[in-house]
Amino acid sequence: MEFPPDRINGTEQLSVQRRVGLVYDERMCKHSTPEAERHPENPDRIRAIWYKLLSAGIHHRCMVFDAKVVEDKYIAAVHTSNHIDLIKTISSKKTASQRNRVAARYNSIYFNEGSSESAYLAAGSVLEVAEKVAKGELNSAFAIVRPPGHHAEENEPMGFCLYNNVAIAARFLLNQKDLGINKILIVDWDVHHGNGTQKMFWKDPRVLFFSVHRHEYGSFYPTGDDGSHVMIGEGPGAGYNINVPWENGRCGDADYIAVWDHILIPVAKDFNPDIIIISAGFDAAIGDPLGGCRVTPHGYSIMLKKLMKFSRGKIIMALEGGYNLNSLANSVVACVEMLLEDKPVAESLEVYPFESTWRVIKAVREKLSTFWPTLADKLPEELTSRVTSQHQIYSSQSEDEYEDGPNTLPEDLENDVTIPLSKLNLSEDAGSDQVTATSQAWRSQLAKIDVWYASFGSNMSEPRFLCYIQGGQAEGMKRPCRGAVDKTKPKEVMWKTVPHRLFFGRESTATWGPGGVAFLNPESNYQEKTFICLYKITLEQFNDVLLQENVRIDTSSPFFDLNALDSIEYEKTISLEALKDGWYHNVVYLGKENDIPILTMTCTRTAVEGFKSGKIPICAPPKEYADTLVRGLVQGKQLSEDEAVSYIQEAATKPL
């Protein structure tokens, strides 16, 4: 559609000028933490973007809209009535303490008196500009909204997200038949997997959902297997869900553009969408404190330019994450300038992707080649052999735009950004001292109590277990462990057998890569016999092992305290709610030795049922993992090497 000439800033613009919409509304800043605590998802995020656009004069070249409240009937197309009632009433019908208690039920969520209005405005803004783009009133649009949305599931807010803004807009476009939108491409380039959006279109072939994100075998937020490349959709939607799961952080322009060129763009050509919606999170941007990746504004503009070749450039961008304010604002400006098509961009790069990036690309192409024949051809070795070392730092023409340069991440975040969103403590004031003091208090108390930690998996090998105590990396492991605060070796080591079933499940893990890992059925069965290696350690050390097994960093309080220790002898198992996103949050009591309790950690009974039903995959262990178990059993003088191999093979193949 061609528009009449516009008069902007006193000069007449040619009809080729694209009409780009912007939504910004200060009312969405009312959503903030209850006591104004520091938090990465805060009102300054959208203010920083808006001020940057104003200072660059870009708003003059766009059509600017205030936010609009969404109607419940449109929300109901993707969320349950209970979910709608929660978000609609949380601000007006609850006191601050009541809101806090409600928020505590969910993963990484806060509420205040402005949360309801902000959530309705965010969802309504994305829907409104999506409709305008679909009708041709706009060529494209950027909705500068918060709270974000892509983690919000049908009946659960999570990960800073209250309503799934993009999903609401996409369902609206599909349901309004007069708009003529029959196929939608949703591109989620937020560093975290868009679990909520994926589930809402899991069986819908009208929506091609594409997400590129840090996954690290399920250890990166939102954790679990939803973000795996094997999650491709179901029924008529099979093949229409594409996940590109990074194995590591530090991915930058070259990695993302390789994914665009060798997965997304070929599939988009065949899918031929009527419109594109981008879940535009910028926490993969260089310098982001949560993302740990290195995408530059230049990189984002290239990614967007490649997508503008489809659907006649009809693109809606909806803000998701992004927590480095400078990087966030610069990246959005680069994207809006690209939507306006008034700034050429060079697509050539002087760096190559990581080796792990090519490995992921090949796996995704192979998994989806049945559905998308364009992915069936093998990538030439000449291409995939061009790699960048993990330690090489990306350079960019736009790095000098940052106050915080690309190398200013704290070292611990640089190496392993797996901080759970609900556990963030970004305060630099006295509050952090208080947390440290609290941590020291519980540690001092629990350091006086001994327990037996019972290992049935790779920790049966003492060098492997000592990685959890002293830090480091044992043979076969793909990444190091942080270690415990108290690095004292176990006071004693001994072996036993227990009447529980050993089995192997999950398809991959961050520590061992593709393949299953060991689980112990928490239900006893006297027809079964499993070897366990007992390490006599303190209850403080046990808590640190718990944290590492469940990929957590927060140590401000113990997860398994003296009260839990007192009650587990009678309860037999305690599922730790605070660690529920981990696979080993179920502490199981296995009796006593020398009057000291024997504890292990494994999955829950519910998870066992999931393994039995096939909902969670049973999977044989990788060679490196199995070899570690064999070494533990042999060095512990429990079995010969042949006997240990047979023991593991039986556990891996015997039906649950």
Catalytic positions, written as ranges: 151
Other CB atoms within 10 A of residue 489 CB: 13
Cα–Cα nearest to 130, from 174, 87, 163: 174
Phi, psi of 584 (to 5 degrees): -120, 45
SS (H, E, C) 459-516: HHCHHHHHHHHHCECCCCCCCCECCCCCCCCCCEEEEEEECEEEEEECCEECCCEECC
Give, in order, the Cα–Cα distances in Å from 622 to each of 501, 532, 634. 19, 20, 18
Rounded to an integer, what distance in angstroms lies between the CA atom of residue 10 and that of residue 340?
A: 18
Rounded to an integer, what distance in angstroms lies between the CA atom of residue 459 and that of residue 477?
A: 12
Chain centroid to Cα 299, Å, comes to 21
Rounded to an integer, what distance in angstroms lies between the CA atom of residue 617 and that of residue 636?
A: 30
DSSP 67: -
What does the block give as tokens for 571?
């309860």
Rounded to an integer, what distance in angstroms lies between the CA atom of residue 620 and that of residue 47?
A: 50
Rounded to an integer, what distance in angstroms lies between the CA atom of residue 642 and that of residue 650?
A: 12
Q: What is the DSSP string of 516-569?
A: -EEEEEEEE-TT--EEEEEEEEEHHHHHHHHHHHTT----SS-SS-HHHHHHHH
What does the block give as tokens for 24?
């910004």
Cα–Cα nearest to 592, from 621, 573, 613, 569: 569
Q: How many degrees, rounded to 5, is the angle at CA 104 between CA 103 and CA 108?
A: 75
Q: What is the CA radius of gyration of the chain?
A: 26
| 262: amino acid identity, one letter | H
Cα–Cα nearest to 78, from 211, 191, 174, 177: 174
Other CB atoms within 10 A of residue 199 CB: 18
